[in-house]
């Protein structure tokens, strides 16, 4: 079964329903990526064959916030965006090491949480379900990070034509029985 969220709308009902199913344990979400994965990250982030689908959003993000750049610190990789402070990155990492997806985001003082870039490994016929799971899990973790900050009332996806998506500020949705118990590293969130 293929789940789709039109225009990448980040909504509690869709994410909660999608995460009720069993997610694959073949990837994990982490805030760090090993430096030996630089080539894989460059290929995924900068040379993704699906860039043409979201080109206006990529251009909007670069014009508004700056050019993304891969940086190496203390043996790990991260993504910096222009001179913007507080940028955070989450990686969906394959059990074999390479990244399958990346979310780059920043909390702003005006109550907004802006997703600057959202990248998923290009879809192959054999990996369609995994790609959807990676995208949903990244969005779920971005939403969770926004909720942990407490003062965020709006998540904006720069790639989306809409201005912003209201974040339900109620209690975080609980994961249903049978959902993933995948390890998470959210030290920087």
Q: How many domains does the chain have?
A: 1
| pLDDT score at 159 | 81
Q: Name the pTM for this structure.
A: 0.73
Q: What is the CATH number of the domain that holds 104?
A: 3.40.630
Residue 144, domain extent: 23-172
Domain presence at residue 164: yes
Choose from 10-14, 28-32, 120-124, 128-132 the range with maximum mean pLDDT: 28-32
pLDDT-wise least confident of 80-89, 134-143, 162-171, 173-182: 173-182
pLDDT of residue 166: 57
Question: Could you tell me what percent of the chain has a pLDDT over 70?
Answer: 68
Q: Spell out the long-range contacts of 101-110 with Cβ–Cβ below 8 A and sequence spacing 24 or more.
A: 101/44, 101/131, 101/134, 101/135, 101/137, 101/138, 102/41, 102/44, 102/45, 102/138, 103/138, 103/139, 103/141, 103/142, 104/68, 104/79, 105/142, 105/145, 106/65, 106/81, 107/146, 107/149, 107/152
Each residue's pLDDT tens digit, 23-62:
445 889 999 999 999 999 999 999 998 888 889 989 999 9
**What mean pLDDT comes out for the span 168-174?**
44
In a domain, 73, yes or no: yes
């Amino acid at each position: 079964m293929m789940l789709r969220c039109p225009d990448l709308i980040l909504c509690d009902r869709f994410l909660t329903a999608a995460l009720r199913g069993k997610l694959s344990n073949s990837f994990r979400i982490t805030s760090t990526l090993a430096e030996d994965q630089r080539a894989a990250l460059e290929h995924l982030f900068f040379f993704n064959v699906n860039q043409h689908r979201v080109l206006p959003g990529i251009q909007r993000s670069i014009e508004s916030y700056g050019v993304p750049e891969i940086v190496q610190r203390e043996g790990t990789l991260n993504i910096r965006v222009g001179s913007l402070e507080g940028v955070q990155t989450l990686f969906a990492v394959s059990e074999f090491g390479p990244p399958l997806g990346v979310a780059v985001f920043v909390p702003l003082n005006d109550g907004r949480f802006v997703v600057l870039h959202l990248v998923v490994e290009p879809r192959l016929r054999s990996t369609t379900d995994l790609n959807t799971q990676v995208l949903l899990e990244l969005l779920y973790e971005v939403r969770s990070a926004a909720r942990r900050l407490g003062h965020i009332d709006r998540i904006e996806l720069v790639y989306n034509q809409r201005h912003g998506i209201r974040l339900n500020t109620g209690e975080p949705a609980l994961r249903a029985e049978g959902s993933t118990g995948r390890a998470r590293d959210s030290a920087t969130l």
